[in-house]
Every structure is written in C-alpha cells, then in structure tokens.
Amino acid sequence: MGSTRRNCRTRPCPSAPRWHEAHFEQRLPLAPLFATLHAVSLKDLITHCLSSPQHPLLHLVGLSILGGATAGARELIEDVTALSFAHFEYFGRPFAVAASLHEEHQPLLDDLIEPAYARRYGETYAKLVQKAFLREVVQPDLACVACNELRAPNMWLTNRLKRLHQYSQWEDVRSMANTIHQHYYSVAKSGKLNANGEEVANKDHMEMLYKDLLMGV
C-alpha cells in the first residue's frame, strides 16, 4: 500500500483537462477531421446537403447554412462599399452584403420545393423545407436586392416565391409566402425601405422587382 502511494506521488500525473483531451482524441481523431472539414468549401458542403438522398434533415441543414452564411455559401459580388458598412448601419440605410445564389444550387433547391418531395419524404419534412426555403433563401435574397445597389433581382427566385404563394399544398406556407411577397411588393412600389422613409438602394433594380412580382408564375 505504501509503495503504491509513493509511486503516485513520484510519477507525474496528467491534469484532468489534459487527460480528458487525450482520452477524447483516442476515440475521435480530431486532426484528420478538421483537415477534412477545411478541405471542403462551404459551397460544396451546401451542394452535398441539398442533393443528398439520405435524409431530409441534410436538406434543412443546407438551407440553414444558406440563411446564416454569405461568403462561400453565396456568390459574392465585388463591393468596395462593404468596407464602410458600419456607416450605413449607423448613419444611413440598412446594409446587406452583395451576394447571390450560386447557379448550381438553384436546380437543387427546385427539387426541394416540388410536390414530389412530399411523396418521397413525407408531408412534415416537405412543409418544413418549404418554410425554410422562404425564410433562409428568399427573404435574405430580396433583402439584399433592397439594401445593396449592386444586386439585381433574381427572377428564378421571385418565380419560386410566387409559385409557393399560389400553389403550395399548405395554407401556412402560402400565407408565409404571401407575407414576403406583399412586403417586398410594397417596398418595390414605394421605393421606401420602411416607415421612416429610408430609400431603397437601387430604384432601377426595385422597379424590375416590382414588375416581376406583378407577373404571374
């Protein structure tokens, strides 16, 4: 017994955090994992998520990334005013980074909002995906058009908004699409971002959006 105590006292013992870190690394090799993640671009990660046939949760993950990220997730437009965005936020109109959807993501998004999606994955996931598309893809894109003078409207996207507004299988999805449609129709028609009278970034682009929202699907 005494010998055991002496060995514990004389041998250096790793601290608790270091012991847990070493134990975790044995279970999950972190370096290869991080190297793999860093080797995959955000654009490719979204492509994988949106196109995966494995589970609709991956589709929701891809939509969530589109809603929460810009660089990589969307195609950036060179914008010298982005360096002074704080000026816009505090002293002028709201600012949005000039970015648009990657073209290769558009057909993948199309597949997610088609009626056939519900037959394949069930109505619960289909409704969630349609709402996520409106919230994470449509809303940020239209906000960018309204708040950044370099962003022209994406006619593909406004067409999908109108399609869900008119033809979605679910009333609450149609209602959500209608709310977004009516808001940006009003902004495009008035040329004002809000009740304070702040003007849209590019009136020509908003005129294009106004005409597109007026047209049928």
pLDDT digits (tens, 9 = 90+) for 32-55: 766 766 667 889 999 999 999 989
Give the phi and the psi of residue 199 in degrees, each rounded to 5: -80, 155
Segment 112-163, tens digit of pLDDT? 999 999 999 999 999 999 999 999 999 999 999 998 889 999 999 999 999 9
Which residue's entry shows tokens 């209608």?
178
CA separation for the pair 110, 107 (Å, rounded):
5
| Type of residue numbered 50 | L
pLDDT of residue 83: 57
CA separation for the pair 21, 139 (Å, rounded):
42
pLDDT of residue 196: 81
CA separation for the pair 192, 6 (Å, rounded):
79
| Type of residue numbered 135 | R
CA distances from 169 to 43, 70, 93, 114, 139 (A): 30, 30, 37, 10, 20
pLDDT of residue 82: 64
- 215 Ramachandran zone, left/alpha/beta (phi>0; psi -120 to 50): beta
| CB burial of residue 111 (10 Å; 0-12, 13-18, 19+) | middle
